[in-house]
Structure formats: structure tokens, C-alpha cells
Structure 1
């Protein structure tokens, strides 16, 4: 991998979230193993600042979310905190705003994001995963959205992400029934893009870390932003911004490097400039 400048170490504000870099990849790991990585308040709060640091870091090309241990990616919200955080109306507003900020920071992150999933991916875990750009999973993964069994209201952004990803029919099926599905069905629905056996998941993840390290970051950034615009209503779509993003790619040093590398029959070295 090519050397790039990084502004410093990544330090999570809570021990229940781990953060470290490997080459051009930032890893963020949910670390609440005793509760199958259920999301506590401090875990939600740790996500936005870590992503904000990654966005300013020219050395980071990909952010990978995973779960500690071998039982779960994220098994949902930590319901032991519900009485404090969701019992009263004002507490509900605070909790929902905090979760929304964390999920939207993933969805809007300028860098590509990937969920690498093992075991349980339930409720809030599904929301984290579908906020990411790419989802891969091991064949032991289990997915479910149990809101209808808990009487919870579900935020608009989460349901919009789900509908955009799997379609309204499959979204209604999963949400209304609250049933759990395995990795094979998740792939057939488009909830995840690729699956692997447990022992091969690291190898599959390595394909993505290598691809993001080698491919042109400005092109990936432009593609991500334009695809986000495509999902908007036509009246809200910013066509001028999309055109400018394309021009920025053609005017970049990376485009010149890509052309030279093609002519020289070698791999390009992109610097995101």
C-alpha cells in the first residue's frame, strides 16, 4: 500500500468501541461482547467523532465496521438503558436524536463504509449495516428487525434506507413480521452483497480493503455522492453538483496518472488529488 499522511491515532471515547488503522483502512469495532455488542449510549456517541476524524484523514480510503467476538455484529440496542433513555417523552427525543446522528454520520461519510458481519445483526445492527455503502457477511449471520415485537416507533431515515436497499415489498415483509433471516436469504434480498464461510470472511474483506486502497478516491467519492443524489426526488436532485464532481475527476492529477499508467501498462498510484 502507498504511504499517506495521517493526522494521528484514532482513540475511541469508550472502551465499548475499538478503533484502529490497517494501511488505508480505519476499523471501528463494536465491543460490548457480554451483551452481544448491543448498542449502549456511549457506543452511539462514539461513532460521529471517529468518522469526522476519518473524513479529514487523507490516509484513510475505507471505514470498516465489525463486531467483537464471534457471536454478533450488533444484536440491537442495549435495552437495559431503555427505562432511563426511552421511558419518558423527552428522553425518547434525546435517544432518537443521538442514534440518528450516529447513523447519518455513517450514511453521509465522504469515505466508503463497509459492514463486515458475523452472527447476530438485529435491530440497530441492521440500521448500522444499511447505513454503510457495502455489506458483506459470514454464513453464520442472522438478520432481523424486531421493532413490532417491542412496540417501538421506527425513524423515517432507517425505513427509507431499508426500502431503497431491498424494495418496499421485502421491507414490509421483514418489518411487519419481525422474522429473522439467514445469510443466504439476506443475499437473495439484496440486504448484503456477498457472503463467505466464517473462515473466509477475512479474505473477502481483504478484497475490499485492497480495492479501495488501489482505486481512485476522487472517483469513488464522486460516485458515492452522485448515487446519493439519485435516491432523492427529482426536484431535490442537485444536477450541477453532480456535473462538477465529474469535472473534478477529469481535472485531477489522478486522472492524468490513470491515463499514463494505462499507456505504460502498469498499475496507477492514486493520491486523491
Structure 2
């Protein structure tokens, strides 16, 4: 039996998906790529989960995709199971955060970029190496990377296949914060705790609008949710009364 798997840990309102593939620096196998969307479907449907963390086991985020079946990869192109998993992660309706230590390369970087936020340890090394392998990086993946860090920085990573350290990744916008390795977990906990205390309505709407997934009708629907839910009235009342807000809105599903 393979010990390569994705595991889920839920603590309060935060779910953590852990990439585990000992001996391969947590490389993603085909089975793991297929497993990820299934896990995400369940966590998105769970009303108790307010945020998701993606990380790797044993001090390594993910060293890439397991390229054991190269013919399958070449045949699939942009229709690969890796792209499908990435797109599902990017479309996850709740905030996502990648906690990065060690190698975050290729398919690992692909997953990190699909998250909303990225917190990196100082020992992190990030890069996308398809030019070393003669592969074309998937178009959705390439565009997402370029939107995040800009065309020039994306071209540098793709043209050279260089791995960059966490400080450079911070400068180009590939990660949001860089911390000592032993401080990453506490910072991730602080961010996800803050998110869990905020209005889920505000957070969900902001994510859709920033990611350009909300058309005019959907944006109008969000404003209707604000009017009908009483969320804003509760937030203003809590601020005036100097108390924590008691937000109660829950996602009703897409109309």
C-alpha cells in the first residue's frame, strides 16, 4: 500500500490538508491529484469550516508532481488531473492559505499559487521547472502565476527554472509573508483565527469579486444578501457597543 496521501485535520473552524509522500519530498501522485477535489468538495460543503490551510508534512511543502506516467501527462495537456485539482482549489469558496516550508516546486508551487494567501518559512525554496523537462506549463497555471507576480517575474521563473529563496519570493509577490520556520504555524493560526471571526458574507463576496468570478448579477445578489441578512447592522451595532460581533450569515449556495 502506498503511503502517499492527502490527510485532513479539522480544528474548530479551520481545516488543514496535509500533503504526505515520504521519500519523494511530498510529490503529488496521480491518486493525490484525484483525491484533492474530492476532499475540497466535502470541506466546502461543511458549514463548520470557515478557512482551509494547505501544507506539507515533515518540513517540506511539495516537491512537485510525480512524473511516473509521462505519457498520460503529455496526452492530457491542459486537461490534466493536476490542472483540474488546481482549478478546484482556486475556486474553493472559502479562504485558503498555503503554509510553505522547504521545497515548493512545480506542482507544489502550482497549488500554492492557487491559494488565496501564502505564508513561507525562511527555508522555503520556490520555482517552476518545466523548462528543465521540456514541458509546457499549463496555460491556466501560467496565467495564474503571471497575474500574481507579473509577466516579467513569471517569465524569469519559467525561462530559467531557477529556484528562488523566500525573501526573493516575497519581493516579487509570490508569497505574502516570510517568517522563521518555528513561527509559521502560529502566524497561520492567527490569520485563520482572524478570518473565522469576520463576516463570512464579506469574506466570500470579496473572494469572488477579487477572483473575477462574480458577474453583475452575482454582485447584485451579494448586495442583496447584505440588505437581507442583518449582517451589517450587527457589525455596526457591535462596533458601537465595543463588543465582538455575532455574525450569523452562512452560505446559502449559489442562486
Would you say same fold, with TM above 0.5? Answer: yes
Q: Which secondary structure state, in structure 1, belongs to the residue aligned with residue 113 of structure 2? A: helix
Q: What CA distance in whole angstroms lies between the structure 1 residues aligned with 2:156 and 2:5? A: 33
Counterpart of 2:226 (choices 233, 241, 249) is 249
Counterpart of 2:166 (choices 171, 183, 190) is 183
Q: How does 1:103-122 map to 2 (within 5 A)?
A: 103-122=86-105
Q: Which residue of 2 aligns with 1:25?
A: 14
Q: What CA distance in whole angstroms lies between the structure 1 residues aligned with 2:53 and 2:218? A: 27
Structure 1 residue runs of 5 or longer lacking an equivalent are: 1-13, 231-236
Q: What CA distance in whole angstroms lies between the structure 2 residues aligned with 1:118 and 1:156? A: 26
Q: What CA distance in whole angstroms lies between the structure 2 residues aligned with 1:268 and 1:15? A: 42
| 1:200-231 Cα deviation digits (max 9, x unpaired) | 1111111112111101111100000111118x
Q: How does 1:1-273 map to 2 (within 5 A)?
A: 16-70=5-59, 72-79=60-67, 81-83=68-70, 85-86=72-73, 92-93=75-76, 96-229=79-212, 238-273=215-250
Q: Which secondary structure state, in structure 2, belongs to the residue aligned with residue 34 of structure 1? A: coil
- Do 1:139 and 1:196's aligned partners in 2 also have CA atoms closer than 8 Å? yes
Residue 244 of structure 1: how far off its partner (Å): 2.1
Structure 2 residue runs of 5 or longer lacking an equivalent are: 251-255
Q: Which secondary structure state, in structure 1, belongs to the residue aligned with residue 69 of structure 2? A: helix
Q: What CA distance in whole angstroms lies between the structure 2 residues aligned with 1:262 and 1:127? A: 40
Residue 19 of structure 1: how far off its partner (Å): 0.5
Residue 15 of structure 1: how far off its partner (Å): 5.5
Using structure 2 for the length normalisation, give the TM-score: 0.92
Q: What CA distance in whole angstroms lies between the structure 1 residues aligned with 2:119 and 2:240? A: 34
Residue 96 of structure 1: how far off its partner (Å): 4.2
Q: What CA distance in whole angstroms lies between the structure 1 residues aligned with 2:186 and 2:130? A: 34
Residue 82 of structure 1: how far off its partner (Å): 2.8
Using structure 1 for the length normalisation, give the TM-score: 0.86
Residue 99 of structure 1: how far off its partner (Å): 1.2
Residue 262 of structure 1: how far off its partner (Å): 1.4
Q: What CA distance in whole angstroms lies between the structure 2 residues aligned with 1:163 and 1:252? A: 37
Q: What CA distance in whole angstroms lies between the structure 1 residues aligned with 2:139 and 2:124? A: 25
Q: What CA distance in whole angstroms lies between the structure 1 residues aligned with 2:227 and 2:243? A: 20
Q: What CA distance in whole angstroms lies between the structure 2 residues aligned with 1:269 and 1:42? A: 41
- Do 1:38 and 1:78's aligned partners in 2 also have CA atoms closer than 8 Å? yes
Q: Which residue of 1 aligns with 2:253?
A: none
RMSD: 1.7
